[in-house]
Amino acid sequence: MRSMGCDKRPRDEAVEMVNDPPKFMITDKTPPLLMAWWNDMHKCRRTEIFKHLGFLTDIMRFSPNRDLIEALISFWDSTSNVFRFNDFELTPTSK
One digit per residue, pLDDT tens: the chain, 95 residues? Answer: 444 444 455 555 555 555 555 566 777 788 889 889 999 999 999 999 999 998 888 888 888 888 888 888 888 888 888 899 988 888 877 66
Where do the structural domains in the chain lie, given as residue ranges?
A: 14-90
Amino acid at 48: E
What pLDDT is stored for residue 42 in this prediction? 93
Distance CA 15, CA 21 (A): 10
Distance CA 51, CA 15 (A): 35
What pLDDT is stored for residue 68 in this prediction? 86
Question: CA nearest 92: which of 79, 82, 78, 77?
Answer: 82
Which residue(s) pair with 82 in the sheet? 77
